[in-house]
Structure formats: structure tokens, C-alpha cells
């Protein structure tokens, strides 16, 4: 056992809360800082892949997450114009034992926050972090906390602490949460409809949110990153008509959207820190690597980073531990970042030829062995060992 240290976790999101719980379990003194006034998540639904679910189990958050969330067995996508299937990935066609856990962010946050509260961890709210220097955390209100032996930067895609330079992606999406309606849509599939690569509509059944027994769906509609204002101007009625014309089965979901405020615009960027640490500070999750959610791996990556960091601190200290964390995660992160960069334009771009390649060549190839097995390993997060040199999950 290496020495116990004092750690500030900057950001109480998916990676930050998980890291805080894992590090506190190892006897480190942990304090969490977040800008929120009362603990709260932002956004709609996401999928926690099997590797990420295993990390949740390490901190005792898995059962709560599973009780809220909804198992996804298959991802299915079709072309709007001709109804042809162009995405078909099973998690575990034979036994169904392995699945993606679709969950609303509020539910995942609840599971993670319960885990943090069950431990001796101070959570400082209303703490907008401005910078970190010499082990001290500086807030925007000019208060300074520390010194800490280590600062874990888990402040996400807009991190004020990370040197990550990223490239904005041309497409984003509006996301919303609606009740699961009377529908023929399968309740355990992520269902998507595409028009070429410039339109993607999705329905993700995400189970329940805290305080509401009705099952929910996360819905999304892709659009160029700068076209949100035009979408608001166009009005929700026109949008609903356009969406239903492309995908009639989407009607009972779209019918629940009455105001643009129900849909939140998410813009994506892509970039990876080559070295996700410097002395006294380490970056995890979106603060270390950003990608579009096309492969559904961002939350998993944050969970895996948290576990790798905790394990690295079990067997080394100081810079050596941070270097070990970076080494353990490098190939897994790089491979998913590369795949995300390759896949995203096939589904979200203005390209005319990429969707043709996707539909006519890549999709048929993906259905021939070993294609299905490879696709399953990609979505499950197990293409490469996620914690190289730091044990199994």
C-alpha cells in the first residue's frame, strides 16, 4: 500500500464522482468541488457499456443504476429513404447476458452521488474552478483551497484546467427526454433512422428518472452545429412534421415536444491529450479526451480512467503513479478516439459518398463473421484491454 494522500477532485460528474469514491476507498483524503449550486446532472440519456457497468459495481453504484436504467440488447439503424437496415449490432445475441445500460443522466448521477455520500467525502458546491497551481485550487470567487498532493481534473469537455486543444465537429444534435409512449418501437433497442449522413434521429429507452415511475425515452435529432437558431425559428410543428415524414414510428415521441426548450443542443469536439498529467495534476474523462457520442463511449472512458488512476495510486506514488495511469489507458483511449473519428462522419456529416460506402459496403461486411463479433467488442468497450498492466476490471 502506498502512502495516503490528500486529493481534490475537480468536477462532480461521471468521472469525478467515481474517482472520488474509488480513491476514498483506498484511504486517501478526498474533497470534491463542483460549480453546481445543489447537486445536479445536466443532459439526457446515455448508454453505460458493460465495462463501465463493472466500474459502477466497484463503488456499489451498479445496482442503483440498473434499477433506474434499461437494458439495451441491440442497436438498430435504417435509412429513411428506402427502409434498408444499415446498423445492426447485438450486445449478446446468444444469451443476452451482456447489455448496454441506457440511463438518464439524473439517474446515473443519483447512483454515483449516493456512492459518494456513503463515504467520508466532502462535496463543495458553488465552487466554480478557475485554475490549479502548485497543489492549490483557485475558485472564481478568489477563494483558494489546498494544498493538495494531487488534483484530479474531472471538469469535463469545458475544463478550465486541461491543456487539451480540440477540433469542433461540424454536426451536433438536439436531445430531449419524453415519456415512453404506446409504440411498436422495441423497448430494448437503440433505434435510429438516417437520411444519408446529414440527418440522424434516435430513440433510446432509458428507464426511469428519480421521483417519476414512468419509463422515459431519450430522443435526438442531429443538425449542423450552427443551425440551432434556425431550428428554433422554424418552430416545433414544422420540425415534428419533418421528423415524422422521415420516420413515421417517431410520431408518438415527437408529439410530446411542444416547445424548443424541451430539446437541448449538444455540440461535439474531438481531441486527445497525449500526456494527461503533469506533476500534481491528472486529467480524466472528457478533460483528457473528447469525442462525438457516436460510439457511446465517453462515460465509459471516464469510468475506466477513474479506476485506472485509483489502481495506479495503489502501486506507485507521485509522478510515477500518474505516468502509470496514462500508460494503462493510452492504447484503449487512442483506439476509441481513432474509431470515433472514422465512424462519426459516416453518420454525421455533409458527405454524399460516406453514407453510400456505409450502406453498400461497410454494413454488408459488418454482418459477415467476424464482423458481428468485432462490432460487439467495439461497443462493449473491450476491443483492447481497458486497463493495460493494471489488472482486469
Ligand X SMILES: Cc1cc2nc3c(=O)[nH]c(=O)nc-3n(C[C@H](O)[C@H](O)[C@H](O)COP(=O)(O)OP(=O)(O)OC[C@H]3O[C@@H](n4cnc5c(N)ncnc54)[C@H](O)[C@@H]3O)c2cc1C
* Residue of 319, 266, 303, 298 lying closest to 387 (CA atoms): 303
Nine cell digits for residue 320: 510515477
Scan residues 15-34 and list those touching ligand X (CB under 6 A): 15-16, 33-34
Q: Return the exposure string of 184-213: e unless at least 16 CB atoms fall within 10 Å of the residue's CB, then b.
A: ebeeebbbbbbebbbbbbbbbbbbbbeeee
Instruction: Kindly tell me which of 175 and 194 has the beta carbon lying closer to ligand X.
Output: 175
Please tell me whether residue 386 binds ligand X under the rule CB under 6 A. no
Over the window 189 to 218, marking each residue x when it contacts ligand X by CB under 6 A and - when it does not, the resulting string is ------------------------------
Applying CB under 6 A, which of residues 197, 209, 263, 299 lies at the interface with ligand X?
299
What kind and span of H or E run contains 202? Answer: strand 199-209
Instruction: Kindly tell me which of 197 and 299 has the beta carbon lying closer to ligand X.
Output: 299
Please tell me whether residue 302 binds ligand X under the rule CB under 6 A. yes
Nearest approach, Cβ of 272 to ligand X (angstroms)? 13
Closest-approach residue to ligand X (CB): 13
DSSP per position, 331-382: HHHHHHHHHHHHHHHHHSSS-SHHHHHIIIIIHHHHTSTTHHHHHHHHHHT-
Please tell me whether residue 285 binds ligand X under the rule CB under 6 A. yes
Nearest approach, Cβ of 67 to ligand X (angstroms)? 19
Adjacency order of strands within the sheet including 167-179: 85-90, 74-79, 189-195, 199-209, 212-224, 167-179, 264-272, 289-290
Applying CB under 6 A, which of residues 12, 223, 324, 387 lies at the interface with ligand X?
12
Applying CB under 6 A, which of residues 5, 9, 24, 47 lies at the interface with ligand X?
47
What kind and span of H or E run contains 66? Answer: helix 62-68
Scan residues 115-134 and list those touching ligand X (CB under 6 A): 127-129
Question: Which residues in this chain contact ligand X in the complex, by CB under 6 A?
Answer: 11-16, 33-36, 43, 46-47, 127-129, 154-156, 158, 160, 175, 266, 285-287, 293, 296-300, 302
Amino acid at each position: 500500500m502506498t502512502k495516503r494522500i490528500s486529493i481534490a477532485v475537480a468536477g462532480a460528474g461521471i468521472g469525478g464522482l467515481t474517482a472520488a469514491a474509488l480513491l476514498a476507498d483506498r484511504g486517501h483524503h478526498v474533497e470534491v468541488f463542483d460549480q453546481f449550486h445543489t447537486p445536479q446532472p445536466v443532459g439526457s440519456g446515455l448508454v453505460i457499456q458493460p465495462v463501465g457497468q463493472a466500474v459502477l459495481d466497484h463503488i456499489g453504484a451498479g445496482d442503483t443504476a440498473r434499477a433506474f436504467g434499461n437494458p439495451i440488447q441491440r442497436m438498430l439503424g435504417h435509412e429513411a429513404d428506402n427502409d434498408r437496415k444499415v446498423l445492426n449490432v447485438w450486445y449478446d445475441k446468444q444469451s443476452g447476458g451482456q447489455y448496454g445500460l441506457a440511463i438518464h443522466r439524473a439517474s446515473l448521477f443519483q447512483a454515483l452521488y449516493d456512492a459518494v455520500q456513503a463515504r467520508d467525502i466532502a462535496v463543495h458546491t458553488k465552487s466554480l474552478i478557475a485554475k490549479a497551481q502548485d497543489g492549490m485550487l483557485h475558485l472564481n470567487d478568489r477563494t483558494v483551497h489546498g494544498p493538495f498532493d494531487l488534483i484530479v481534473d474531472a471538469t469535463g469537455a469545458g475544463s478550465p484546467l486541461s491543456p487539451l486543444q480540440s477540433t469542433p465537429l461540424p454536426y451536433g444534435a438536439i436531445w430531449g427526454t419524453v415519456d415512453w409512449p404506446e409504440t411498436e418501437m422495441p423497448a430494448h433497442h437503440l433505434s435510429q433512422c438516417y437520411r444519408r449522413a446529414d440527418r440522424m434521429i434516435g430513440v433510446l429507452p432509458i428507464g426511469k428518472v428519480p421521483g417519476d415511475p414512468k419509463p422515459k425515452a431519450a430522443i435526438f435529432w442531429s443538425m449542423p452545429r450552427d443551425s440551432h437558431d434556425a431550428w428554433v425559428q422554424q418552430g416545433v410543428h414544422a420540425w415534428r412534421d419533418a421528423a415524422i415524414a422521415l420516420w413515421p414510428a417517431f410520431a408518438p415521441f415527437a408529439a410530446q415536444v411542444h416547445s424548443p426548450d424541451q430539446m437541448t443542443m449538444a455540440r461535439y469536439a474531438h481531441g486527445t491529450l497525449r500526456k494527461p498529467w503533469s506533476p500534481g495534476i491528472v486529467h480524466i474523462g472528457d478533460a483528457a479526451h473528447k469525442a462525438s457520442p457516436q460510439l457511446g463511449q465517453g462515460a465509459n472512458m471516464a469510468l475506466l480512467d477513474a479506476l485506472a488512476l485509483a489502481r495506479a495510486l495503489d502501486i506507485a506514488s507521485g509522478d510515477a503513479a500518474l505516468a502509470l495511469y496514462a500508460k494503462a489507458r493510452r492504447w484503449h483511449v487512442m483506439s476509441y478516439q481513432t474509431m470515433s473519428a472514422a465512424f462519426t462522419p459516416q453518420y454525421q456529416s455533409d458527405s454524399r459518398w460516406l453514407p453510400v460506402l456505409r450502406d453498400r459496403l461497410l454494413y454488408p461486411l459488418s454482418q459477415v463473421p467476424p464482423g458481428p463479433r468485432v462490432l460487439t467488442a467495439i461497443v462493449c468497450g473491450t476491443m483492447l484491454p481497458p486497463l493495460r498492466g493494471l489488472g482486469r476490471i
